[in-house]
């Protein structure tokens, strides 16, 4: 370690990649979410400042009735997802728009956790019809504010999403969404590293 490193004990952690949990919010049969998720993961793999882990609501069996004393079955189900959320420095939430809002399985996943979200940044990728899922995103911003999370300003949205991807899951006009994804991920990395560094100095007391 050189003298500059010794003066800055967090030098090694500040530049480390951030750990991002990519949450696929829909579990509906025939959902389009995995196509968009694969596209985003391909963008993430091009970067050396992000390590991603997928949390898919379709893989979870969390009851809608919340409990402070969950059963053994629920505890086992939570054990599959809670470490991924707790270890994440940041989140990307992928959501469609159902009836001007976001899917119930996504809200259920959010509500089963609390401290896992605190003092971490959340970015949004949405898809849908004419609105591109943006109304779902605006509601999710309010939910995550209540959980002491920080939502990044820029989003990626796909309007009439099914018409813009080919059969191989590739976007037909890659330049525009690629630029949007880069801007969003750049912001997410900045917030992820900044909040990670801040919590190492002073744990969040929310």
Asked if the model's pLDDT at residue 7 lies above 80, the reply is no
Asked if the model's pLDDT at residue 12 lies above 60, the reply is no
Asked if the model's pLDDT at residue 8 lies above 90, the reply is no
Going by pLDDT thresholds of 50, 70 and 90, the confidence category of residue 13 is low
Q: Which CATH superfamily is domain 3-26+34-201 in?
A: Flavodoxin domain (3.40.50.360)
48 or 171, higher pLDDT: 48
| Residue listed under structure tokens 């119930």 | 104
1 or 188, higher pLDDT: 188
Q: Which of 152, 95, 88, 142 is nearest to 117 (CA)?
A: 88
Give CA–CA dist 116/113, Å, rounded.
Answer: 6
For range 131-150, the mean pLDDT? 97
**Mean of per-residue pLDDT scores for the chain:** 92
DSSP 68-137: SS--HHHHHHHHHHHHHHHH-SEEEEEEE-BTTB--HHHHHHHHT-SGGGTT-EEEEEEEESTTTTHHHH
Asked if the model's pLDDT at residue 191 lies above 70, the reply is yes
For range 40-54, the mean pLDDT? 97
Give the model confidence (pLDDT) of 95-110 as tens digits: 999 999 999 999 999 9
Give the model confidence (pLDDT) of 55-98 as tens digits: 999 999 999 999 989 999 999 999 999 999 999 999 999 999 99
Q: What pLDDT, on the 0 to 100 scale, is given for residue 125?
A: 98
Q: What pLDDT, on the 0 to 100 scale, is given for residue 140?
A: 98
């Amino acid at each position: 370690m050189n003298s500059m490193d010794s003066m800055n004990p967090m030098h090694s952690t500040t530049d480390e990649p951030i750990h991002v949990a990519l949450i696929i919010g829909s579990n509906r049969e025939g959902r389009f979410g995995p196509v968009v998720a694969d596209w985003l993961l391909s963008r993430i793999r091009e970067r050396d400042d992000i390590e991603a882990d997928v949390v898919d609501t379709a893989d979870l069996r969390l009851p809608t009735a919340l409990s402070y004393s969950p059963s053994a079955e629920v505890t086992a189900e939570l054990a599959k997802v809670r470490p991924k959320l707790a270890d994440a420095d940041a989140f990307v939430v992928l959501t469609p728009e159902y009836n001007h809002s976001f899917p119930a399985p996504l809200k259920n996943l959010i509500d089963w956790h609390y401290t896992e979200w605190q003092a971490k940044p959340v970015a949004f990728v949405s898809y849908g019809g004419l609105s591109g899922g943006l109304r779902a995103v605006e509601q999710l911003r309010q939910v995550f504010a209540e959980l002491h999370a920080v939502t990044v300003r820029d989003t990626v949205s796909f309007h009439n999403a099914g018409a813009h991807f080919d059969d191989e899951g590739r976007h037909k006009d890659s330049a525009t969404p690629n630029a949007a994804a880069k801007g969003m991920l750049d912001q997410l990395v900045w917030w992820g590293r900044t909040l990670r560094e801040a919590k190492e100095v002073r744990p969040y007391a929310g």
